[in-house]
Structure 1
Amino acid sequence: MLSIFDQGPPPPCPDPFNLAAHVLGAASTHADKTALSVLGQSGSQDWTYSELENAVRATGTGLLDAGLQPGDIVLMRLGNTVDFPITYLGAIAAGLVPVPTSSQLTATEAGKIIAELSPATVLRDPEVESAEHPHEIDLSALRAMRLCAPCDWAMGDPDRLAYVVYTSGTSGKPRAVRHAHRAIWARQMMVDGWYGLTSEDRLCHAGAFNWTYTLGTGLMDPWTIGATALIPEPGTTPAALPTLLRAHNATIFAAAPGVYRKILADGANLDLPALRHGLCAGEKLSTHLHETWKSATGTGLYEAYGLSECSTFISSSPHHPARGEALGQPQKGRRIAIVDKEGPVPQGKEGVIAVHRDDPGLMLGYLNAPEESAARLQGDWFLTGDLGAMAVDGQISYLGRNDDMMNAGGYRVSPLEVEAALTGHPGVTQVGVTDIEIKTDTRIIVAFYTGPAPLDEETLESYVGSKLARYKQPRAYVHLPALPASANGKLLRRALPAYFEARTK
């Protein structure tokens, strides 16, 4: 048998369709129900479904009144506040194309995005770094828009462009991923295939409002089925999360594995009587972390695998737990395969994890990069670049990257991007970057470099500080007389960890 999972396609996406209208469809029947609670130590700031829908649609009107036209690209440089999802959905409601970006990006990184996108405007929190743009709408103006009359939903072809997200690629240059309105329709396959979510749940996500993991799993998916989303206020530490989960009766908790590790390391009180289970994504969940959490709380952790180009499509769930070290199985409605250059491989054999090109959650392609988009396709299959193997029951084991991509706290980072940022330093002649496990379940980015003499780490940190977002910056620097290379002079990144280990012995 070949490594193909196919239990039939999902129901077709309605036409006409609008992503934001679909997300807030529950407002018509749950107007007074709490859609969102921003959790603080002294209480919560609550938004009903009616209030949330009004804010979103009014923002849509305000953006159009500001001179924007349906189809315009708008870059979001906003912070970790409720303004982020309201503005994001407001733009989509009005037919605009928002581009959410991490507030951690530097002005240099934002400038590169502006140059590539040529956005009609930049939606800007003054506290967030950004390059100059001739047309900016600041945070105070965005908030004032909520007094406008509600806009009509901009309905249309579900295959049309809805939003753009950025991901670091193997080329070292962040890539703009174009997604259709139908992407939200595809996410319903996660409700049973990963979340085990119902309309009665209170799902708490530990991430920031302006992280796409939070935006999807923590906000839009609960809203789509009429559940309540809980988001800790900015500045909440992992140690404070158990108290908030308990006080606000969270039934499901979602976070990156690193957050779970910090909660357990802090030795906090994990008496969580309302919690049914936890969700994690962003990096591989280790058996050690899962068992530790299960022992501390009596609840399971369920992980999901995906990528910016197709969100999550392989997962474990309360109804279908992962077996052994496996990730889980493809969600019902997905068509997933393990392939090599000839196509799907026999069950049990290693290959590249691939998604069928007709998956409703798959991207439209990379912006202004048709050749790169086409290169990710092999016949009917979109190649993820990750290696895996499929068992006879459909469960898939993750076997690592097929390239050198790194994982930094749940963010994928290209070593080429970090290397390029360091190469310009006058004391660096050659550089190689990789991520290294420094203790169980903890990885850091390390830069190895050659040059006339070792450089002061604070100098290097300052140099990359203006070029790279914090999560992309190395946490350690190692000076070497020469970098490991192949016979033809190509850098051997996979040989770098041995040099770090030798230094620490």
Structure 2
Amino acid sequence: MGQSAHPSSLGPIRWEALYEQRVERCYAHRLRSLHALLETAAQRNPKGVALVLESERLSWQDLHDQAARLAWGMQAQGIARGDRVAMLLGNRIEFVVTLFAVARLGAIAVPINIREQAPGLAYMLQHCGASLLVHEPDLVDRLPSAEQAPALRHRWQVGAAQAAQGSTRWSDHLGTTADITPATEVDEQDTAVILYTSGTTGRPKGAMLTHLGIVHSSMHYVEAMGLTEQDCTITAVPLSHVTGLVALVTTFALCAGKLIIQPAFKASDFLRLAAQEHMTHSLMVPAMYKLCLIDASFNPTALKAWRIGGYGGAPMPVQVIEDLAKSLPWLALMNCYGSTETTSPSTLMPKGDQSRPDSVGKPLPCVQMSVMDDEGRELPWGEMGEIWIKGPMVVPGYWNNPEASAEAIVGGWWRSGDLGTMDQDGYVRVLDRKKDMINRGGYKIYTIEVENALYEHPSVQEAAVVAKPCPVLGERVHAWVCLREPVDEATLKAHCAARLSDYKVPETYSLQDTPLPRNANGKLLKREMRDRVLAPDSTPTPSQGGRS
């Protein structure tokens, strides 16, 4: 099977028996819980700034103490090890405090994106059996009734002088420093966080992120990116998503660096904060980098501290990579590949490696990867198949869903649903989602390749390529395009024809000046766009729904 290709500088790696029937490569020297990440940061860098939101600043010791005080308040209301605490919170300081308070008790945090609507929210709260819900003040109208979430006993509201009916104020549950009780001991294989992943069909599935997985993923990021307590990042992505939660919050707890909280991404605000706080690190989706490049306030001389630019969630258009290299030559771009089920990173491009711009990098030290055929057999180097991933950070399964767990995880290997290749040097290329690949009369077309060609046109802001049913060829190529400035189909078709084989060139287009639809986690909703191709006069609208 494919082995990890990154060397490790964090001490020895050994095989360990985990999750009942799995044997995984693990860091021998590691912290054992989510709470331990915070406790160690407070010991290592007590006066160092942990969180910044506008004029408010918390040190690592402040954050530790506030989480301990909130844990006392939770304990006073009966929250104990294994209980589920749902967090319907945006990017704010209370999110981080609540997360670590839950971890201190050995309870399970269930972050939910604030874009989730009432039906999905009710299902998640009922499915996980949450005892406590911490929520935003302006989302009260989405909260479920007692009948919809019978296990829900308490509702705490953040950020308002007066709580809504049925809720109490979050701040009223903070104990005094004298009230603090010892942290609850946990098994590192216990579930620490449940993150609901929205599938293309059916109900959302609750991926069970363990303490062990979160610690390993945080170590992978710190080691690969060379992060220290001198580093500073901005939370441009939702903290309720695995990237915000693990790549930013828990990773920066491990390195005891500084997190600047941005409630919602806006390029001008991001650039202002980056210059003001001397940001050194970012982890964003490619579209955010492009928005920074075209923003009127973009000033490279104010961004000299920015040394690491991690990205994932979608391919980075070649044109954006080239533009970043010209404007910010000191910025090391690092492509990251992972998912909720892998607790974020599986591969990272080695820092400063520009040899393979089409690669997502190499498997991380404790990660095993293999490319498999449809019958579950390993393929030779360079052959395209489904990417399977194994490691201590792969979740043991989905909460209360053994059928989905058995389908997705085979012998400890998570079946990603992504098509890709691995070369003899360990570099992985992700070619397409298995369900997104287009079959035009027997010719296989990878939508990422076509989208990259479209992105090279200066008028294209966003592009998404989908299959359009055809009674003769089976499928044809259709492109959805969000334009920065007007351009016609003929121009785009000629542009693509100069860069692609003729059968790959989109034959039909949907052109618009509004953003393409994405789900709550920022993923393009290709399923919705495929459906809309059958109704040519309609334009897709932003959805709160499932994974593309």
SS of the residue aligned with 1:344? coil
SS of the residue aligned with 2:365? coil
Q: CA deviation at 1:472?
A: 8.3
Once the two structures are overlaid, the 10-residue window that deviates more, 252-261 or 102-111, is 252-261
Q: Within 2, Cα distance between the matches of 1:160 and 1:281?
A: 28
Letter in structure 2 aligned against 1:30:
N
Q: CA deviation at 1:330?
A: 0.8
Q: CA deviation at 1:51?
A: 0.2
Q: Within 2, Cα distance between the matches of 1:176 and 1:235?
A: 25
Q: Within 2, Cα distance between the matches of 1:120 and 1:263?
A: 41
Residue 388 of structure 2 corresponds to 354
Residue 36 of structure 1 corresponds to 51
SS of the residue aligned with 1:214? helix
Letter in structure 1 aligned against 2:289:
Y
CA change 1:235–1:22 in 2 (3 A) is: closer
Once the two structures are overlaid, the 10-residue window that deviates more, 284-293 or 234-243, is 234-243
CA change 1:119–1:325 in 2 (3 A) is: same
Paired-residue identity, %? 22
**TM-score (normalised: structure 1):** 0.77
Could you tell me whether the CA contact under 8 Å between 1:14 and 1:158 is conserved in 2? no
Residue 366 of structure 1 corresponds to 398
Greater relative contact order (Cα < 8 A, sep 6+): 1
Q: CA deviation at 1:320?
A: 4.5
Could you tell me whether the CA contact under 8 Å between 2:45 and 2:229 is conserved in 1? no
Letter in structure 1 aligned against 2:294:
A
CA change 1:79–1:352 in 2 (3 A) is: same
Residue 291 of structure 1 corresponds to 322
Q: Within 1, Cα distance between the matches of 2:260 and 2:135?
A: 25
Q: Within 2, Cα distance between the matches of 1:472 and 1:387?
A: 17
1:203 aligns with 2:221: no
Letter in structure 2 aligned against 1:132:
S
Residue 276 of structure 2 corresponds to 247
CA change 1:13–1:152 in 2 (3 A) is: farther
Q: Within 2, Cα distance between the matches of 1:469 and 1:191?
A: 24
> Any residues of structure 2 matched to 1:18-417 within 5 Å, and which?
18-38=33-53, 40=54, 44-128=55-139, 129-133=142-146, 135-140=153-158, 141-148=169-176, 149-191=179-221, 194-232=224-262, 234=263, 237-267=266-296, 268-271=298-301, 272-298=303-329, 299-310=331-342, 311-318=344-351, 320-321=353-354, 323-340=356-373, 341-356=375-390, 359-404=391-436
SS of the residue aligned with 2:292? helix
Could you tell me whether the CA contact under 8 Å between 1:386 and 1:402 is conserved in 2? yes
Could you tell me whether the CA contact under 8 Å between 2:409 and 2:415 is conserved in 1? yes
Letter in structure 1 aligned against 2:42:
A
Q: CA deviation at 1:137?
A: 2.5
Q: Within 2, Cα distance between the matches of 1:242 and 1:439?
A: 23
Once the two structures are overlaid, the 10-residue window that deviates more, 148-157 or 247-256, is 148-157
Q: RMSD of the alignment, in Å?
A: 3.4
SS of the residue aligned with 1:364? coil
Could you tell me whether the CA contact under 8 Å between 1:352 and 1:388 is conserved in 2? yes
- In structure 2, stretches of 5+ residues that fail to align are 8-12, 14-24, 147-151, 159-168, 438-446, 449-465, 467-476, 485-516, 540-548
Residue 450 of structure 1 corresponds to none
CA change 1:70–1:324 in 2 (3 A) is: closer
Residue 507 of structure 2 corresponds to none
Question: Number of matched residues?
Answer: 430
SS of the residue aligned with 2:26? coil
Letter in structure 1 aligned against 2:383:
K
Q: CA deviation at 1:115?
A: 2.6
1:94-116 deviations in Å (ceiling 9; x for gaps): 11111100011111211121232
**TM-score (normalised: structure 2):** 0.71
Could you tell me whether the CA contact under 8 Å between 2:372 and 2:387 is conserved in 1? yes
Letter in structure 1 aligned against 2:46:
A
- In structure 1, stretches of 5+ residues that fail to align are 408-414, 416-433, 442-463, 479-492
Q: Within 1, Cα distance between the matches of 2:311 and 2:524?
A: 24
Could you tell me whether the CA contact under 8 Å between 2:3 and 2:367 is conserved in 1? no
